[in-house]
């Protein structure tokens, strides 16, 4: 299916030359502090645990299984322990042989409790995730053979303890950390939205009785020359009804210009999921595969946070050590050599920290802000896009090819209010690593990622219906349908907080054998209303031309907050 929008262009990172105080109240600083401490609460509450499983099966079968899994075997005799290299069962299976390579000393802080969960660390130089691969064999007898080779009679093995991840305890830790953050931050978030948010139109869907937030549209399009198409997957509420009702609302200090709103309605088999990428290309998902391994850029195992669409998500967690400019995930998937592309499906959103720090960034221009903003409106679009890439604002997608990370594309800004389903296709040429290694990279603190999966299946040809607006009535009872029905020079403009329109669509009948998925296709841009004052910080503004400077600015601010 052809894209409605421009072909893909590989993003670049380069120096940008189109650069040459919002009032920062005590209340706003207090809000930002609460955000950071909420993040700290999340971090401190999220721990990793392993448990000890005692072997109950035949020893010989267990040892074969350990060999096949490349487990690290540790032999214990009285109060001594050694790593056992090249373990083998004798032909008669009466003894276990191997080489005592080195003495074993546990790196864990606390002694292992075989009857309870045990914590292990995953940060920096204290990464103890290796404990998940350990098997401890306790014996009453050990015979030395030639050199460092030894033999252990099977009959002398007293017990075998297998260390493995305690998924329930670890997940509970993450959940409690998340719930603690939510409980602490819910009221604060609503205040932030009212005072500091600088995002885009909110879309609500009517579930029969109440309007529920579905997400934001054309996030990041803060200039008329950045206007773009957006595809928001909507909740499947009342899909058997003949009417689908939305509300588009301006709830922040900005002027919103919406050019187009229409529904893309897909009726499809129940075992098929639908995605629409940023180019307007329809992607079908019939065989989603979860990652076999997920690590943050510092090597922390975070798989449990991104394998399901749930309340757990990954975001920058560690603000105690020296902060890198970027954060992200490295994911491994089974590599299908039979496909010439793979589709990467995600559910993610931007953080409130990015939203808040964007406001602080604008304030640094002081009295020059309006002049600077006028220059941006005349700047070539590719320069603005290149600058956002150079500051790691979008979510970059990279694939490992021939041992080198190659940047493929990026996901558009999603906004901080609600998680958004998104998808990109990755062309495959056979040079990819096996397993397939994918990196999602972003500026430190800028994104939250809830779910990631891939699909190697070929796209299924689907017909979909483009459903135009039937009625659109604003808060004053005015009909604004003609301003929203086509991609043209007419805009539905929402200049004031509280401006809204109720938009109705007439849906086609749903076939009995089909499942329905609905996307809102929209297009527009918005202007953030800011009035910074005072002398600009010329030196700092000049630095913002350089790649990564916004990331340094955010890191410096976060470090100052946590050190006060």
| Model confidence pLDDT, tens digit, residues 401-449 | 999 999 999 999 999 888 999 999 999 999 999 999 999 999 999 999 9
Q: Which residue, of 165, 188, 218, is where some domain finishes?
A: 165
- Residue 180 within a domain: no
Q: Please check the confidence at residue 286 and state whether its pLDDT lies above 90.
A: yes
pLDDT given at position 174: 53
Segments forming the whole domain that contains residue 246: 201-272+463-528
Quick one: what percent of the chain has pLDDT higher than 70? Answer: 83
Same-domain pairing of 112 and 215: no
Beta bridge partners of 426: 342
User: Do 233 and 348 belong together in one domain?
Assistant: no
Q: What does the pLDDT average to over 338-354?
A: 92
CATH number of the structural domain spanning residue 317? 2.60.120.260
Domain's final residue, options 165, 185, 209:
165
Query: Is the bond preceding residue 275 a cis peptide, omega within 30 degrees?
Result: no
- Is residue 179 scored above 70 in pLDDT? no
In this structure, the answer to whether residues 524 and 387 fall within a common structural domain is no
Task: Assess if residue 305 is contained within a domain.
Answer: yes
Is the same domain home to 438 and 340? yes
Give me the torsion for CA of 465, 470, 472, 478, rounded to 10°: 150
Do 328 and 338 have their domain in common?
yes
Look at residue 197 in the predicted model and tell me its pLDDT: 53
Residue 135 forms part of a structural domain: yes
Same domain assignment for residues 136 and 100:
yes
Q: Which residue has better confidence, 560 or 206?
A: 206
Domain membership of residue 188 (yes or no) is no
**Does one domain contain both 448 and 405?**
yes
Among 145, 165, 185, identify where a domain stops: 165
CA atoms within 13 Å, Cβ hemisphere of 449: 37
Asked if residue 189 belongs to a domain, the reply is: no
Separation of alpha carbons 229 and 280, rounded Å: 8
pLDDT > 90? residue 477 = yes
Does 397 lie in the same domain as 258?
A: no
User: 5-19, 63-77, 367-381, 532-546: which has the minimum mean pLDDT?
Assistant: 5-19
Mean pLDDT on 328-353:
92
Average pLDDT rounded to a whole number, residues 236-264: 88
Average pLDDT over residues 543-551: 90
Tell if the pTM clears 0.85, that is, is over it.
no
Tell whether 450 and 432 lie within a shared domain.
yes
Residue 399 has pLDDT above 90, yes or no: yes
The Cβ of residue 93 has, within 10 Å, a number of other Cβ atoms equal to 14
CA distances from 26 to 107, 154, 168 (A): 45, 70, 42
pLDDT tens digits, 44-73: 444 678 899 998 878 888 888 888 888 999
Q: What is the pLDDT of residue 348?
A: 97
* Residues 206 and 111 occupy one common structural domain: no
Asked whether residue 170 is domain-assigned, the answer is: no
pLDDT in tens, 184-239: 444 444 444 444 455 689 999 998 888 999 999 999 999 999 999 999 999 986 65
Q: CA 167 to CA 164: how far, in whole Å? A: 9
Residue 4 covered by a domain: no
Per-residue pLDDT averaged across 293-300, rounded? 90
Both 137 and 246 in a single domain?
Answer: no
Query: What is the number of structural domains in the chain?
Result: 3
Q: Is 183 within a domain?
A: no
**pLDDT exceeds cutoff 50 at 557:** yes
Q: What does the pLDDT look like over 350-398, one tens digit per residue?
A: 988 888 888 888 888 888 888 888 888 999 999 999 999 999 999 999 9
Q: Are residues 431 and 381 in the same domain?
A: yes
pLDDT reading at 39 higher than 70: no
pLDDT > 90: percent of the chain = 51
CB 446 within 8 A of CB 392: yes
23 vs 119, higher pLDDT: 119
Is the pLDDT assigned to residue 10 strictly greater than 70? no
The mean pLDDT of the chain is: 84
């Amino acid at each position: 299916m052809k894209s409605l929008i421009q072909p893909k262009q590989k993003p670049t990172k380069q120096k940008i030359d189109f650069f040459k105080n919002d009032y920062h109240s005590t209340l706003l600083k207090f809000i930002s502090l609460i955000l950071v401490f909420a993040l700290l609460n999340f971090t401190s509450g999220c721990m990793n645990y392993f448990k000890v499983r005692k072997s109950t099966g035949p020893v010989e079968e267990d040892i074969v299984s350990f060999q096949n899994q490349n487990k690290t075997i540790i032999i214990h005799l009285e109060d001594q322990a050694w790593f056992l290299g090249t373990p083998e069962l004798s032909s008669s299976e009466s003894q276990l042989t191997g080489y005592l390579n080195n003495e074993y000393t546990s790196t864990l802080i606390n002694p292992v409790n075989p009857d309870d969960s045990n914590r292990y660390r995953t940060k920096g130089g204290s990464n103890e995730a290796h404990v998940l691969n350990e098997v401890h064999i306790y014996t009453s007898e050990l015979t030395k053979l030639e050199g460092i080779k030894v033999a252990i009679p099977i009959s002398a093995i007293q017990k075998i303890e297998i260390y493995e991840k305690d998924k329930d305890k670890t997940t509970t830790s993450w959940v409690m950390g998340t719930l603690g953050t939510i409980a602490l931050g819910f009221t604060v978030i609503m205040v932030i939205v009212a005072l500091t948010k600088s995002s885009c139109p909110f879309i609500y869907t009517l579930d029969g009785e109440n309007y529920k937030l579905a997400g934001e549209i054309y996030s990041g399009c803060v200039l008329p020359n950045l206007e773009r198409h957006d595809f928001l997957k909507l909740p499947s509420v009342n899909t058997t009804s003949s009417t689908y009702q939305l509300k588009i609302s301006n709830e922040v200090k900005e002027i919103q210009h919406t050019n187009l709103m229409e529904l893309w309605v897909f009726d499809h088999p129940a075992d098929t999921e639908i995605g629409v990428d940023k180019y307007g290309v329809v992607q079908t998902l019939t065989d989603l595969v979860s990652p076999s391994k997920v690590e943050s850029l510092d090597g922390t195992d975070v798989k449990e946070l991104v394998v399901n669409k749930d309340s757990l998500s990954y975001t920058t967690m560690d603000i105690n050590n020296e902060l890198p400019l970027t954060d992200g995930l490295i994911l491994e998937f089974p590599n299908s050599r039979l496909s010439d592309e793979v589709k990467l499906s995600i559910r993610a959103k931007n953080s409130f920290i990015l939203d808040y720090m964007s406001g602080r960034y604008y304030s640094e221009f002081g009295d020059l802000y309006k002049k600077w903003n006028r220059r941006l409106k005349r700047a070539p679009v590719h320069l603005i896009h290149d600058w956002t890439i150079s500051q790691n604002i979008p979510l970059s997608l990279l694939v490992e090819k021939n041992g080198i990370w190659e940047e493929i594309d990026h996901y558009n800004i999603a906004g901080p209010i609600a998680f958004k389903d998104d998808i990109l296709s990755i062309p495959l040429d056979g040079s990819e690593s096996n397993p397939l290694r994918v990196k999602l990279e972003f500026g430190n603190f800028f994104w939250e990622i809830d779910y990631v999966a891939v699909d190697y299946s070929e796209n299924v040809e689907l017909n979909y219906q483009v459903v135009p607006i039937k009625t659109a009535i604003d808060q004053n009872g005015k009909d604004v349908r003609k301003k929203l029905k086509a991609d043209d020079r007419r805009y539905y403009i929402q200049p004031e907080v509280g401006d809204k329109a109720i938009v109705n669509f007439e849906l086609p009948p749903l076939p009995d054998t089909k499942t329905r998925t609905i996307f809102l296709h929209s297009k527009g841009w918005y202007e953030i209303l800011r009035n910074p004052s005072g002398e600009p910080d010329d030196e700092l503004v000049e630095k913002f031309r350089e790649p990564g400077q916004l990331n340094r600015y955010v890191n410096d601010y976060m470090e100052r907050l946590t050190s006060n």
